[in-house]
Amino acid sequence: MTETFARRLTGLAGIAAAAALIIEVPLYFVYSGPPPDANVLTRLLLAIFSLAFLIVFVTAFRELAKRLNPAYEWVGSMAFATGLVYATVTLVSSGLEAGAVIAADRSIDPTIAVSGTYILYGSIGRVLLTVFLVAVGFGISRTNLLPRWTSRSAYVLAGVNVAFVPSLFFGNDPADFYAANGWGTTASMGAILSSWLLALGISTYRSATRRTPSAGSPALRH
């Protein structure tokens, strides 16, 4: 995998993951009560695709960090490991929610009815994303992969995730901003993550174009 291809793959995967998230998040706010099955299953399907693209993103990012500076390969590996665990944990919670909705003989709100899943994508997810974002931010800053705003914004977003970790002490009412499954802890954090991931993906993809060597450059002659 060349550096140019790694940058393009990382960028495209980030954009695709963000796009799925951007479409998914508003679906949580369409209904005030238990949503119809179609709504729940659609947003869970979008989440599955988003997480699949996130796995591609963290894999390509690890390769890119290694190529740019082998001394910081461990940072890319940390971002890969935490990103992979986050995707796995969230996929498990999505599967449990989808199964409950399919099996129920009436409309249910899986964010309340399926106990425990909101801890997986709530406080547990916030901790995993904190480590992931710090690793990505540190990796970007040390390898000069992207402009400084990308690493700084990763640190800021990591701090926001840390602030929501204690939300597991504040009940399970999705209407509460700071509940374990509250709209601030889950949906809003997803919206913020998708915006950041979209900007990061675009910046990474554009960096590949800027770094593509010209026909007469030494990089192509050797």
Confirm whether 170 is domain-assigned.
yes
Residue 220 placed within a domain: no
215 band by pLDDT with thresholds 50, 70 and 90: very low
Does position 212 have pLDDT exceeding 60, yes or no?
Answer: no
Domain that holds residue 167: 3-210
Q: Taking residues 172-199, what's their average pLDDT? A: 89
In a domain, 167, yes or no: yes
Residue 114 is assigned to a structural domain of this protein: yes
pLDDT in tens, 2-11: 889 989 999 9
Record the tokens describing residue 137, joined without a space: 């931010």
Q: Could you read off the pLDDT of 61-106 as tens digits, one per residue?
A: 999 999 999 999 999 999 999 999 999 999 999 999 999 999 998 9
Is residue 162 situated within a structural domain? yes
pTM above 0.85, yes or no: yes
pLDDT at 131 over 90: yes
Residues in the chain: 222
Is the pLDDT assigned to residue 113 strictly greater than 90?
A: no
pLDDT tens for residues 139-175? Answer: 999 999 999 999 999 999 999 999 999 999 998 888 8
| 221 occurs within a structural domain | no
Q: Give the separation between CA 207 and CA 190, rounded to whole angstroms.
A: 25
Q: Is the residue at 148 inside a domain?
A: yes
Q: How far is CA 159 from CA 49, 118, 127, 134, 156, in A?
A: 26, 20, 10, 9, 5
In whole angstroms, what is the distance from residue 47 CA to residue 17 CA? 9
How many domains would you assign to the chain? 1
**Does residue 215 fall inside a structural domain?**
no
